[in-house]
Amino acid sequence: MNTDNANGNDGGRRSFLAWAVGGISAALGAILAWPMVSFLVGPIYRRTAMRFTAVGKLDQVGTDPVKLTFPLLEEDAFLRESRQHAVWVVKDGGKLLVFSPICPHLSCYYDWNAAGGNFVCPCHNSVFSATGTVLSGPAPRPLDTLQYKVVDGRLMVAWERFRAGIAEKIPI
Ligand code: FES
């Protein structure tokens, strides 16, 4: 009887099983940890990879605010879908002001009140000037501006969201 050979086979089988179990455990661990890693690292990646999206043409913008809507492909963990967004844009001297359409108080969508020449939020009546400063109401900070650039007459905007209800403008 060759016990050495039998022990050698057992040892080989055991090390293969240990390797297989270790590999499967590592793969399962990586799959389970991915959402957490994505949640923690995602904002850092998004900060460095700011994407500009075309929202309209420069000649659409005047001294009265105009609302430009645009589709944006967004990714949330495993979801990837096109969502409709909007920005308010107004000429302010030689530059543009591009506002997020989301009220910095509690994230309602505000509107332009042409008769009053101001932005009004319907939820708690915050009122903002055409340049975004708070005129009245509970809003803790001015309207949030977005980064933009103009390329061949097209207005490109870097869409992002900010925390609501606080005085600082902090990206989410
Ligand atoms: S959400 Fe706009 S005033 Fe409260």
Report domain extents, the chain: 1-49, 53-157
Compute φ and ψ for 16, nearest 5 degrees: -65, -45
Q: Give the atom of ligand 1 at the shortest distance from the alpha carbon of 110.
A: 2
Compute the chain's Rg from CA coordinates.
27
Whether 106 is in the pocket of ligand 1, judged by its Cβ within 6 Å, is yes
The Å distance, Cα 58 to ligand 1 centre, comes to 29
Count of CB atoms within 10 A of residue 146's CB? 21
Compute φ and ψ for 103, nearest 5 degrees: -65, 135
> pTM to 2 decimals?
0.72
Has residue 1 got a pLDDT over 50? no
The Å distance, Cα 138 to ligand 1 centre, comes to 7
Topology of the domain covering 53-157: Rieske Iron-sulfur Protein (2.102.10)
- Give residue-wise pLDDT tens across range 70-106: 999 888 777 889 999 999 999 999 899 999 999 999 9
As a whole number, mean pLDDT of residues 127-156 equals 97
Query: Best mutation site among 126, 127, 141 for ligand 1, i.e. most ligand atoms within 8 A of its Cβ?
Result: 126
23 or 139: which leads in pLDDT = 139
What is the predicted pLDDT for the residue at 5? 53
